[in-house]
Structure 1
Amino acid sequence: MIEKLKVLIIDDHTLFRKGLKEILLDTSYIEDCKEAKNGHEALDIISREKFDIVFLDIAMPDINGIETLKKIKTLYPEVKVLMLSMYPEEQYAMRSLKLGASGYITKSADPEELLRAVEKIVKGGKYIPQSFSEKLLHYLDKSNDIPLHEKLSEREFQVLLMIARGKTLREISKDLSISIKTVSTYRARILEKLELQNNAEIINYAITHGLIV
């Protein structure tokens, strides 16, 4: 029997938060559900209130889900975090689980699967969808060599994906609230670490390694 739970949803899309909140509050063992629209607001809320499980979106502006996860697990290591994402599972799940996430699930999952994830996590387990488990094992077994992009910092990896999706340095600067000069520095580091020459090669690298769809 699961005791009454208090949860926090962190996502920058209001409609998604409201929809998820409605599903959760319709569950008998979830009695309270708070919302945060970004990582900064979430960290402020977590500093004042205790939650049994946190739902955290990976793709958020300013401070993304991976960075938010790192801060949460550093400051409040006991907090259980379920990552929510639309990104290719292998790449982001690996990073999330390594940083202490209790589970990973895509936003396209049905409510029943979501609640199975909640139940497993609050009981002390980790949740990964069955279909994804096979992909993760395949990803781990693909090679003994660490892919070059695994050597990137979280911010470099984020900039890599944004460049690969066709965003300009100015657009990246605005989305991440950092200067264009800083974005250029990240780009230079990415090119050096991945042994690439230009944006076209970054895009090709990202497609080849399944980092974008």
Structure 2
Amino acid sequence: MVADDHPLFRGALKTALSGMDGDSDIREAGDFEGVKALADEDVDLVLLDLSMPGVSGLSGLMTLRGMHPTVPVAVVSAHDDPETIRRALDLGASGFISKSAGMDEIRRAVGVILGGGIYTPEDIDLGLETDPEIADLIHRLQMLTPQQTRVLGMLAEGLLNKQIAYELSVSEATIKAHVSAVLQKLGVDSRTQAVIRLSRISADSIALES
């Protein structure tokens, strides 16, 4: 799946993928609702833009990983600084491809990921997280189960417990339990505080910090 809101860039990615060995069935999504609608366990790889209608930043990666934990997701972004790349990998991305990458590099990255590896751009020192608050947040987010991650993403969308329960086909009591667990793991007291903490890993905040 190629997920990007710019048709020209989706076309460039499709061209790169079509030049690889074997036949490819390529799905396209121009917004995050389309990503969620088209993604399923049959997808071998999602190439996900960090910023598109319906999502901002690494929260989209988290939501997708929560929905389909076994599907590899490679982040494709113009924000290709070490902080963004490292945080994407820490939150479950199987690779990072810069939007400035050429066709050969895109094909090489996709080949590495489909082979079960992790791809990062060459000659980049990812270093260590220098922001202690972000480091703590990522550690806490890593403790969430896939279902808790999905619930957190839906909280960020402003959905009520009964709406989340309907979307996930579970009881409202189950969602309340998930919300309580999410708040505890994030070390916050309210849904609002949880959403504010999650917003710290948005592409906008990363760009400002870089």
Which of 16, 35, 46 lines up with 1:42 in the alignment? 35
State how 1:87-98 maps to structure 2 within 5 Å.
87-98=79-90
Task: Return the letter of the residue paired with 1:59.
Answer: S
Give 2:146's aligned residue: none
- Cα offsets for 1:79-121 (capped at 9, x unmatched): 0111111114222222211111100111001111111111111
Give 1:116's aligned residue: 108
Task: Return the letter of the residue paired with 2:107.
Answer: L
- Cα offsets for 1:10-62 (capped at 9, x unmatched): 00111111121122113222421110011111111114x61111100012132
Once the two structures are TM-superposed, the CA of residue 123 in structure 1 deviates from its matched residue by 1.2
Q: Separation in 1 of the partners of 2:108 and 2:60?
A: 24
> Is 1:33 aligned to 2:32, yes or no?
no
Q: Separation in 1 of the partners of 2:80 and 2:45?
A: 23
Tell me: higher relative CO, structure 1 or 2? Use CA pairs within 8 A at least 6 residues apart.
Answer: 2
Larger radius of gyration: 1
Change beyond 3 A, Cα 1:105–1:206: closer
Q: Answer yes or no: is the 8 Å Cα contact 1:54–1:80 preserved in 2.
A: yes
> Is 1:78 aligned to 2:56, yes or no?
no
Give 1:58's aligned residue: 50
The number of equivalent residue pairs is: 152
Task: Return the letter of the residue paired with 2:114.
Answer: V
Percent identity between the two aligned chains: 34
Q: Answer yes or no: is the 8 Å Cα contact 1:24–1:30 preserved in 2.
A: no
Which of 16, 20, 23 lines up with 1:23 in the alignment? 16
Q: Answer yes or no: is the 8 Å Cα contact 1:25–1:32 preserved in 2.
A: no
Q: Answer yes or no: is the 8 Å Cα contact 1:9–1:55 preserved in 2.
A: yes
SS at match of 2:71: coil
**Deviates most, 28-37 or 110-119:** 28-37
Change beyond 3 A, Cα 1:152–1:124: closer
Change beyond 3 A, Cα 1:177–1:80: closer
Once the two structures are TM-superposed, the CA of residue 150 in structure 1 deviates from its matched residue by 5.1
Task: Return the letter of the residue paired with 2:90.
Answer: K
Task: Return the letter of the residue paired with 1:84.
Answer: V
TM-score w.r.t. the length of structure 1 is 0.61
Q: Answer yes or no: is the 8 Å Cα contact 2:16–2:107 preserved in 1.
A: no
State how 1:1-213 maps to structure 2 within 5 Å.
8-47=1-40, 50-132=42-124, 134=125, 136-137=126-127, 140=128, 146-148=131-133, 209-210=209-210
User: Is there any run of 5+ residues in structure 2 with no aligned partner, and where?
Assistant: 139-155, 159-191
Task: Return the letter of the residue paired with 1:128.
Answer: T
Task: Return the letter of the residue paired with 2:3.
Answer: I
Q: Separation in 1 of the partners of 2:25 and 2:48?
A: 16
Change beyond 3 A, Cα 1:17–1:90: same
Q: Separation in 2 of the partners of 1:71 and 1:62?
A: 12
TM-score w.r.t. the length of structure 2 is 0.62
